[in-house]
């Protein structure tokens, strides 16, 4: 699929393939996509961190980077008001364990 058709007319794709500047992104979907990307690109580190109960030590920088993208994309107020990002991290990266 051509990149422009995927991202929108002339827009570059952003995190997780979402177009940059999308006006009404679904916060839950964006959070899950960002966290899924962390898992996809860092599965070995995630598995080691999960086994040692140290996921934040292994993936803290990636989680923080994705949190910044999330806040930028949906707005800081909406990011703070909802638990979508925290829930995605706990469910996807920590297999349901509460780490955030």
Q: Which pLDDT does position 26 carry in this prediction?
A: 95
Q: Which pLDDT does position 25 carry in this prediction?
A: 81
Better-scored residue on pLDDT, 12 or 50 = 50
**Model confidence at 92, in pLDDT bands (50, 70, 90)?**
very high
Using the structure block, give the residue that is written with the tokens 């962390």.
Answer: 38
Tokens encoding 90:
């706990």
Work out the number of other CB atoms within 10 angstroms of the CB of residue 64.
11
| pLDDT above 80 for 19 | no
Q: Which pLDDT does position 9 carry in this prediction?
A: 43
Using the structure block, give the residue that is written with the tokens 């827009």.
Answer: 11
Q: Which pLDDT does position 87 carry in this prediction?
A: 98
Q: Which pLDDT does position 6 carry in this prediction?
A: 37
């Amino acid at each position: 699929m051509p990149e422009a058709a995927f991202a929108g007319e002339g827009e570059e794709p952003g995190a997780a393939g979402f177009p940059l500047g999308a006006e009404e992104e679904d916060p839950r979907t964006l959070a899950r996509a960002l966290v899924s990307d962390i898992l996809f690109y860092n599965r070995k580190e995630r598995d080691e961190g999960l086994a040692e109960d140290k996921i934040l030590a292994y993936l803290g920088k990636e989680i923080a980077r994705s949190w910044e993208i999330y806040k930028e994309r949906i707005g800081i107020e909406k990011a703070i008001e909802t638990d979508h990002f925290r829930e995605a991290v706990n469910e996807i990266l920590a297999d349901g364990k509460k780490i955030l």
